[in-house]
Amino acid sequence: MTTTTSPNAAPDTPAPLADVTRDEASLRRFLHGLPGVDQVGVEQRAAALGTRSIKKDAKRWAIDTAISMVDLTTLEGADTRGKVRGLAAKALRPDPERQDCPRVAAVCVYPDMVEAAVDALKGSAVHVASVATGFPSGRTSREVKLADTRLAVEYGADEVDMVIDRGAFLEGRYMDVFDEIRAIKAACGEAHLKVILETGELATYDNVRRASWLALLAGGDFIKTSTGKVSPAATLPVTHVMLQAVHDWHEQTGELRGVKPAGGIRTAKDAIKYLVAVHEVAGEQWLTPNLFRFGASSLLNDLLLQRRTQVDGHYSGPDYVTVD
């Protein structure tokens, strides 16, 4: 069997793991040498942590924290600049009647809508994220994926959400996936890279762990569960596996990387379960938009309703927030 070598891997891989990405055989040996995920154990832990009761001031803090972690997203074929401007306005003032309501973390759009988002968010701390690399399937050439990424960055995106080649990963062509992530990371320049694993297509928790480590080794700033276009999307057990990966990465390298569950998270109650998981699995320092995001636009509406309930002492109803 011919051994594939990646000339770009070693210099940028943290010293403790430099040899891991030397060639295909080394990478395969490392990924398949990771501890197996106890399916029953991770699902039971996720379920148990999901029953934690958060009340009063802690709940208000959790809701505000979750709002600040939302990537407000529109990724539809019918997207217009007007729709993007409206989304940006909501990102800046999620609840126009509540001046103390936090802003969201980012607005996420297709590359051709980045300029409209950048213009609408100019001067604010809200980031502009763009999907790229043939989102959501990723079934296009590397040249097109790189051009897609460069276009997003040229238009002003400061975050890029890419999708991995799941076909290559499932065939065991790990170095191909690694090299592609590394190339996309280089094309991002100063922009942060979120690597979408599309966990619903990876079939097993062991594959989720391997894909998480592969993305981290290749330089991903965030690992992200899903595109939101495939079911199942984000789940608590899968997010536990990914949070454990970034925790272990930090233990080995000293570097902090983020996690973004995306798709299917619709209520404040669900969001709080994820925040509990972040605290218990990764650690308290991950409870920041710099290291944890929600890719769930519809979630924001319920967070705002629950925030009003906490502040006003009564339920306001859905007519008091804009509907996405």
Judge whether 224 counts as a catalytic residue: yes
Select which of 145, 224, 270, 302 is catalytic. 224
Q: Is 59 a catalytic residue?
A: no
Question: Are the CB atoms for 255 and 286 separated by under 8 Å?
Answer: no
Which residues make Cβ contacts (< 8 Å) with residue 318, sequence separation at least 6?
301, 305
User: What whole-number distance in Å separates Cα of residue 13 and Cα of residue 17?
Assistant: 6
User: Cβ(180)–Cβ(140) under 8 Å?
Assistant: no
Contact (Cβ atoms closer than 8 angstroms) between residue 308 and residue 316 = yes
Would you say 202 and 235 are in contact if contact means Cβ atoms under 8 Å apart? no
| Candidates 95, 148, 161, 270; catalytic one | 161
Q: How far apart are CA 59 and CA 156, in angstroms?
A: 35
DSSP SS3 for 193: strand
Residue type, 138: G
Q: How far apart are CA 295 and CA 290, in angstroms?
A: 14
Query: What is the C-alpha to C-alpha distance for residues 324 and 198, in angstroms, rounded to an integer?
Result: 24
- Distance CA(73)–CA(214), nearest Å, equals 26
Determine which one of 90, 145, 194, 260 is catalytic. 260
Backbone angles phi, psi at 218, to 5 degrees: -85, -5
The question of whether 260 is a catalytic residue gets the answer yes
Residues annotated as catalytic are: 161, 224, 260
